[in-house]
Chain A
Amino acid sequence: MTKTLFEKIWDSHVVLDEGNGRSLLYVDRHLVHEVTSPQAFDGLRIAKRKVRRTDLTFATMDHNVPTNNRSLPLVDQTSAMQIKTLERNCKDFGIELFDIDSPDQGIVHVIGPELGITLPGTTIVCGDSHTSTHGAFGALAFGIGTSDVEHVLATQCIWLEKPKTFEIRVEGKRKNPHAVTAKDIILSIIRKIGTAGGTGAAFEYRGEAISELSMEQRMTICNMSIEGGARAGLVAPDKKTFDYLRGRRYVPKNYDALVEYWQENLKTDSNVQFDKSFTLHADTIAPQVSWGTNPAMTVDVTGKVPFPEEYAQGSIEEEKAASKALQYMGLKPGTSITDIDLDRVFIGSCTNSRLEDLTEAARVVKGKKVSSKVRAMIVPGSQHVKRQAEELGLDRVFKDAGFEWRESGCSMCLGMNPDILSAGERCASTSNRNFEGRQGSGGRTHLVSPVMAAAAAIRGHFVDVRDLDLN
C-alpha cells in the first residue's frame, strides 16, 4: 500500500491503535517554554509523577523575556515569576534548560533546529501552536495545550485522532526570489484556502518551488501551517535538510547511517492519493501584505484595501467580518497598499527571525536610513542568530540605519513582554498573526516578509520590493 510521508511517520510512532485512527503516539522530542508549562508541572507534583524522558525534553524561555537590556532585573513581576518557575521546574524534574542568560537561548522553534534537537522522521510536540515549524525537516510536529504537555511529560506519549492528508503543491519558480519570499508563498496559500482550510489535516508542501527553498525558508512556510488551520505541515527531507543538521550539537553520533535511512524512508510514495490537494503556481505570486485581522485577509502589494462586499463574494458573514476588520485596522476600502503609512516595523518572531531573514532585510537597508516617522526594531530569533549576524556586521547595517538591535525572544509577536504596540499604532510585522490586539491592545498589524518590512521602514509606507535592486 502506498503511503504519504505523514502516514509513514505516524505509523512508525503508534504505541497503541484503538481503531478508526485513534492512537497513542510516541513523542520523540518535547520542547517546553515558560508560558504553557507551569500548570503541567504542578499537575505532576500533585500526582507525584516524574518526567518520563528527561533526555528527550528541552526547555527555554522566550515568550516573556525582555529583549532590551538583559543585565537588569525584570520589571514585570509576573513575567519574572513565570521565568523563575520554569527554572525551578527544570531543576526539580531534571530537564535541560536554555535559560535567559544561556548562549543557546532563543525562540523555541528557532533553537530546536539550530541545536539539532529537531530531526527528520521524528514526532515533536510543544505547548505552542507554531511547533509546526519543525515540519520543515520532515518531522511530524504540532502544538499542544497544557494538559497534553503534562501528559507527555508523564508518559512521553499523546492520544490523537489521525489527521487527514493534505497536499499543497507549489509549482514552478518564483520570478524574483529576493523579493518574493517564503512568507509570500505561505500567505498566498492561506489567502486561498482560508484560515480553516486545513482543519483536521496535516499539510505536506511539495513541488519545485518548495524543493528550491532553503531550510530557513521552509521553516517560514511550515511555521504558518497552523494559520491555515492545520496543526502540522511537512516538507520531505532532502540533501539540504541533511547538510543543515550535520554536525549540530544534539544530532546523534550515527548521523550518516541515519541519513541513509531517512533518504530511503522519508518520502511520499509515488501515485499516492492525498485526502485533499491544492496547487499554486510560484510565478504568479507577488509580495503579500495583510490588510485585515486574520492571515487570510491578505492582498498583493500592488493591490488595494478591498471593499467588504468585493472581499466577501456573496457571503454575508465574510462581509461583516471584513467591515469589522477594516474598522479595527483604520483603513478605507480602495486605498492602495503602497499608500499605507507605518508607525512601527518589527522584524522577528518564530516565522522570520533567522539569519537568512536578517541577511535579506539587510540588502534593503544597507546605506539607508529608517524614515523619521517610523520606529523599527530587529529581534534575532536566538542568541546564535544574533552572534552570527554580528559576525557578518549586520547589526551595524541595521543600527546605522536607525533600527533597534535587540536580544532574542518572541518580542512583539504576541504582546506578552515589554515590546508592544500602543492603541492605534500601525506596524509592518514579519510575525504570523494579525489578530485584534495580538501585538498590543488596539495595535494594527500588517503581516509581511522581512524584505517588505525593511523597505517599509526606510520609506515609511509599503513599497513593492520587486522595484528595488536586491541583487
Chain B
Amino acid sequence: MKGSVIKYERDNIDTDVILPGPYLKIHDYAELATHAMEGIDKDFHKKVKPGDFIVTGRNFGCGSSREHAPIALSYSGVKAVLAISFARIFYRNAVDGAFLLPIEIEENTYKDISEGDQLEIDTSKNEIRNITKSKTYNMRPFPELIGKIIAAGGLFNYKP
C-alpha cells in the first residue's frame, strides 16, 4: 500500500472536526466525503487524493461514536491514518466496515514523517517505508481482534 502524506501536527483531533454534526444527516457516502476534516481544514477534500495517508498525533478520533467519521475519510480516498494513538470507538469503527487502517506509530516516527512524504505500508511485516526519506519505521502490531477483523475484510466477514 503506497500513498502520500497529509500531516496534522496536533493531538486530540475529534470526530466533530473530522465530520461536523450537521452532516450526520447525510446518507450518501460520497457526499459525506466532501465534508471530511471540514472542522479544521476546509480545503481537505480538494487536496486529498485516492490512496493518501493522514499522519497525526495522539488520541485521534476522540469523542462521538459516529462511524460517519471513518466513512467520510475513506470515501475521500484515505487508506490509512497513522497516529501516535487512537480513541477506541473510532479505532474499531475504522476496521468494522473495512474503511481504513488505523495504524499506531511511535512519537519519533510521527515527528520524522513530513507532509507530502511517500510511504509504503506493509502490515504483514508491521513496517512503514518512507520512500522520500529512505527510512523504515515499525508500526505497532494490531491487537488480535482488530487484526483479525482487518484480515477478514470487515466485521461481517469475520468468523472466529
The digit string for B139-160, where 1 denotes a CB below 8 A from any CB of A, is 0000111101100001110101
Question: Does A56 sit within 8 A of B, measured CB to CB?
Answer: no
Answer whether residue B77 sits at the interface, using C-beta atoms and an 8 A cutoff. no
List A contacts of B20 (CB < 8 A). Answer: 415, 437, 441
B65 touches A145 (CB 8 A): yes
Minimum CB–CB distance from B94 to chain A (whole Å) comes to 9
State which of A22, A82, A294 has its C-beta within 8 Å of the C-beta of B12.
A294
Within 8 A of B (CB), among A248-295: 294
Query: Is B24's CB under 8 angstroms from A416's CB?
Result: yes
Residues of chain A contacted by B160 (CB below 8 angstroms)? 16, 18, 24
The reply to whether B85 and A147 form a contact with Cβ atoms under 8 Å apart is: no
Q: Which residue of B lies closest to A34 (CB)?
A: B25
Question: Number of contacts between A and B (CB, 8 Å)?
Answer: 144
Point out the residues of chain A lying under 8 angstroms from B96, CB to CB: 145, 147-148, 151
State in angstroms the CA–CA spacing of A22 and B20 once bound together: 32
Residue-by-residue, is A155-168 near B (CB-CB < 8 Å gives 1, otherwise 0)?
A: 00001110000000
Q: Are B14 and A435 in contact (CB under 8 A)?
A: yes
Q: A36-B67, A147-B97 are in contact. Are A161 and B143 (CB under 8 A)?
A: yes
| B12 contacts A321, C-beta separation under 8 Å | yes
On chain A, the residues within 8 Å of B22 by CB distance are: 415-416
- Interface 1/0s, chain B 17-45, versus A by CB < 8 A? 10011101111000000000001100000
Q: B2 on the interface (CB 8 Å rule)? A: no
Distance between A50 CB and nearest chain B CB, rounded to angstroms = 15
The contact string, 1 if C-beta is below 8 Å from chain B, for chain A 83-97, is 000000000000000
Q: Chain B residues with Cβ under 8 A from A143's Cβ?
A: 64-65, 89
Task: Give, as a whole number of angstroms, the nearest-CB distance from B35 to chain A.
Answer: 11
The complex places the Cα of A161 from the Cα of B92 at a distance, in Å, of 10
Q: Tell me, yes or no, whether A433 is within 8 Å of chain B by CB.
A: yes
Tell whether, in the assembled complex, residue A321 and residue B25 are in contact, meaning their CB atoms are under 8 Å apart.
no
Q: Which of A82, A161, A196, A414 contacts B145 (CB 8 A)?
A: A161
B79 proximal to A (CB < 8 A):
no
Q: How far is the CB of A223 from chain B (nearest CB, A)?
A: 13
Q: A229-B59, A435-B17, A437-B20 are in contact. Are A38 and B87 (CB under 8 A)?
A: no
A437 B65 Cβ-Cβ under 8 A: no
Q: Is the CB of B40 within 8 A of A414?
A: no
Interface check B133, CB cutoff 8 A: no
Would you call B11 an interface residue if the criterion is a C-beta within 8 Å of the partner chain's C-beta atoms? yes
**Whole-angstrom CA separation of A321 from B20 in the bound complex:** 19
Q: Inside 8 A of B9's CB, which chain A residues have their CB?
A: 317, 320
Interface residues of A in 443-468 (CB under 8 A from B): none
Chain A residues in 8 Å Cβ range of B148 = 22
In the docked arrangement, what's the CA distance between A29 and B18, Å? 29
Smallest distance from the beta carbon of A123 to chain B beta carbons, Å? Answer: 16
Residues of B within 8 A of A133 (CB): none
Cα distance A64–B16 in the bound complex, in angstroms:
16
Q: Is the CB of A199 within 8 A of B85?
A: yes
CB distance from B39 to the nearest CB of A (A): 5
Contact call B156/A127, Cβ cutoff below 8 A: no
The one of A35, A128, A435 in contact with B25, judged by C-beta atoms closer than 8 angstroms, is A35
Find chain A residues with CB under 8 A from B97 CB: 146-147
Q: Is the CB of A195 within 8 A of B62?
A: yes
Q: With an 8 A cutoff between CB atoms, is B4 at the interface?
A: no
Tell me the chain A residues, 3-48 only, with Cβ under 8 Å from chain B.
16, 18, 20, 22, 24, 35-36, 38-39, 43, 47
Q: Tell whether A338 is near chain B: CB-to-CB under 8 Å.
A: no
The answer to whether the Cβ of A144 comes within 8 Å of any Cβ in the partner chain is yes
Interface positions, chain A 156-193, Cβ under 8 Å from B, are 159-161
**17 further A-B pairs in the complex, CB-CB below 8 A; given A43-B156, A416-B22, A436-B17:** A35-B24, A79-B25, A82-B25, A128-B65, A146-B97, A147-B93, A148-B96, A159-B149, A195-B62, A226-B63, A226-B89, A229-B62, A229-B88, A294-B14, A317-B11, A415-B22, A437-B16
Q: List 16 A-B contacts (CB under 8 A).
A: A35-B66, A39-B67, A63-B24, A76-B25, A78-B25, A79-B25, A131-B65, A143-B89, A145-B93, A146-B67, A195-B12, A226-B63, A229-B59, A231-B89, A416-B21, A437-B17
